[in-house]
Amino acid sequence: MIVMEKHMKIKNIVLAGIISLVFSVHASDKQNIKRDPIPYLGYDAVTSNMCIDAGGLTDPVEMRKKATETLLMILHKQPGDKLSKQSEDTIEAFVTRTRSSSDDISKCQFSVYERYWEIVQPNK
């Protein structure tokens, strides 16, 4: 009887450990993805240049216009070209990112990445 109780306690401890490990790994995966770069060729340069060219703008219309120009230039597209969903999401992420007075290029980029993943995550 005592052996069986010890066996059950050990079994419960192991089960609790496995469950806590699974939830912590899942939570860290969710947290890490928010700062991952946009996974399309050239978009790292796009976000960096958006932050350089239009990072100081505050008017959303001007920001969107400058971000679109930058994206088209970096990706070698013409102004009349139809934008892909990734391009539209990247521009939206840039315009709606969180800002602070101490933003530099890397902080701006990370804000764009975070916002991008917030935009596309519900679509997955």
pLDDT digit string, tens, across residues 1-55: 666 676 667 776 666 666 665 555 555 555 555 778 888 888 989 999 999 999 8
Q: φ, ψ for residue 78 (rounded to 5)?
A: -95, 150
The contacts of residue 13 (CB under 8 Å, 6+ apart) are: none
**Predicted local distance difference test score (pLDDT) of residue 27:** 53
Measured distance CA(52)–CA(56) in Å, rounded? 8
